[in-house]
Chains A and B, each alone.
Chain A
């Protein structure tokens, strides 16, 4: 290890507790939504804009660690886009620690065993990197610390606008465990139309800000850079590293799932339950372009919400969302209908 402990991560299934326990400082990258084309040399334009934005920012940052962020990176093989980001990153930064961790689609005991194996392999790779044995006590402490951050988020997110809520979630993800992001102050105005926002990953300054402007009260942010990363506690148990990894794997698989996981029925059930419990009068389904997991997920969500009688609006984001005017009209019309 070259002394740089900051390590980039990108997917909500990254086991931050293991990275923390190894003495790294994991920070999530969100890239540069405005500068996607810089990634064209390595990634086709029909690839997820979040993926391209992350590569573009890293390629553009030169040697200044503050602007480019860390180049050590842990990727999760969650989708074709992420795997290709890993490939491109490795090609760009061959001297850095660039690790690809697998993520099974299966849940249940098979998925748990597969994911536990991946966590164990990652822990061993980090032992090789740092020269220090992975300590299960440190792992449990790291998890406890992450749990405190989760509770902090749940408390502070109450009553915030969608944009402020998403900024808070992203701030907690993009700062190391030892730091807290600045408090968000944007309070949602009273009398907004309560909606649940679901999808993959969005830019708080883009589509989400349009919802605020249109008068929506975003009561749930079911996004992978929003509430989903804070949906349930992950507190590994067990004295051996194998046991702790299995317990950690269970925790990650029990969290609200990404649409790429096999058990999509559970995801639909949770979505409906949450829409009903939160008092949302409608669901806004917003996804980044070229994200297959959500492109194939939408028709099923649409069928299910129709059955449940829950109004639904679909929006698409290119991550930068320069076309906010158009979006605003559609959102306003939807809210009016509710």
Chain B
């Protein structure tokens, strides 16, 4: 039994909003996390887990101003302004992995949220409506990767009576557009620094430190990626996908840098997965509550060697020019703008990791991802990568049809097996 299951089973019957605001609860969680019950696969996971427990505890106990942030809000900006970033989309993944999402999704439905909307956000809103999330002092959203975050955060802002700021990322990467985004970030930082009770100088220094720590994490992340490109890398994408919370929510902290350092070290030490597996790329995210689909991959000798969201896609940040630097990081993200950028990112990954095939998991309600799936598919097919698209739901386990998924997956894997599709032959276009 894992840590999440242990906590769920201990508290399930008396789960209430006040549980999460109790010091005793967090003491128990911290103790369990340090105990043998918690057996992380990687040492680095201990660091990230301890970081997220502390940060979430501090958010519930309101030990510093809490800033709700969506996936593309750079955590460096929030941490560097003396606030606690809280990523509700990540919280929904944790709730789903604990098997508790349906209850909160239904609560959102009672409020009038349609089942056609993204279940990450319905789960978050259900939790918020029932008082299970830490109260925000500010809600901050980037207008990418999807419409759901700015829209659901707007509802939450009303619910909590807290201000909501949206960072509009202009299309294109010209200097003028980046300047406009940088000034929006600077204004948001001023608000957060003031919420945290810091002076402008203290805020500036803290932000420089956060950027320096983020750079350290980036260098370690590149070491990890170098190792993951090897044939014998033992880190499977189904586990690496969990690193999205580290990538989105902890850069700018010491633990963020330490996580990647430990992971790189351990990957260097291990390195015995052996060759010959079918090498797959996973697109979008996984169902957080289910393991069966990944067992099927393993049975067929397939490994996820890379995944869409957990790779470094930016250059080192300039600590002396924090806002333009962070603006560049966000505006340069492959999910900003047209689907061509996303397709180019995935084609680059497919080549770098020499994949034999790719799986696009169509999370119900995700317009940005499902909406571009066919274009991505055709871009990958052009470079010789077969693609399987499967419909499912990352958060709502009731929308997950394992039997159907497994049948399609198995047919795909059989076609990719050594006697089927020629493997490891990704073409370079142009």
Which residues of chain A have a CB within 8 Å of any CB of chain B? 41-44, 46-48, 77, 79-81, 83-84, 86-88, 90-91, 100, 102, 104-106, 110-111, 113-114, 117-118, 121, 259-260, 262, 264, 289-290, 292-293, 295-300, 302, 314, 316
- Is the pair B375, A91 in contact by a Cβ cutoff of 8 Å? yes
Is B332 positioned at the interface, with any CB of A under 8 Å from its CB? Answer: no
Question: B155 contacts which chain A residues (CB < 8 A)?
Answer: 296, 299-300
Question: A88 contacts which chain B residues (CB < 8 A)?
Answer: 374-375
Is B143 positioned at the interface, with any CB of A under 8 Å from its CB? Answer: yes
Interface pairs (15), CB distance under 8 Å: A43-B374, A44-B374, A46-B367, A47-B371, A81-B371, A84-B372, A87-B340, A88-B374, A106-B166, A113-B180, A118-B171, A292-B151, A298-B112, A299-B155, A300-B154
Is B75 positioned at the interface, with any CB of A under 8 Å from its CB? Answer: no
Question: A314 contacts which chain B residues (CB < 8 A)?
Answer: 112
Q: Considering only CB atoms and an 8 Å cut-off, how many residues of chain B contact the other chain?
A: 44
* Residue in A91, A117, A262, A297 whose CB lies within 8 Å of B176: A117
A296 to chain B: closest residue by CB: B151
Given contacts A83-B368, A104-B143, 20 further A-B contacts (CB under 8 A): A42-B374, A44-B373, A46-B365, A46-B367, A48-B367, A81-B367, A83-B337, A87-B338, A104-B170, A105-B150, A105-B168, A111-B168, A118-B170, A118-B171, A292-B367, A293-B147, A296-B117, A297-B151, A298-B113, A299-B112
Q: Give A113 to B184 CA distance when docked, in angstroms.
A: 12
- Is the pair A264, B180 in contact by a Cβ cutoff of 8 Å? no
Q: Give A88 to B375 CA distance when docked, in angstroms.
A: 7
In terms of DSSP, what is the predominant structure of the interface of chain B? Answer: helix
Contacts of B333-351 to chain A: CB distance below 8 A: 337-340
Q: Give A80 to B337 CA distance when docked, in angstroms.
A: 10
Q: Give A102 to B172 CA distance when docked, in angstroms.
A: 9
Which residues of chain B have a CB within 8 Å of any CB of chain A? 111-114, 116-118, 121, 143, 146-148, 150-152, 154-155, 158, 164, 166, 168, 170-172, 176-177, 180, 184, 337-340, 362, 364-365, 367-368, 370-375, 378
- Is the pair A44, B371 in contact by a Cβ cutoff of 8 Å? yes
Q: Which residue, of B116, B339, B371, B372, has the highest number of chain A Cβ atoms within 10 A?
A: B371
- Is the pair B374, A260 in contact by a Cβ cutoff of 8 Å? no
A287 to chain B: closest residue by CB: B114
- Is the pair A105, B180 in contact by a Cβ cutoff of 8 Å? no
| Contact (A262, B148) CB under 8 Å given A47-B370, A290-B367 | no
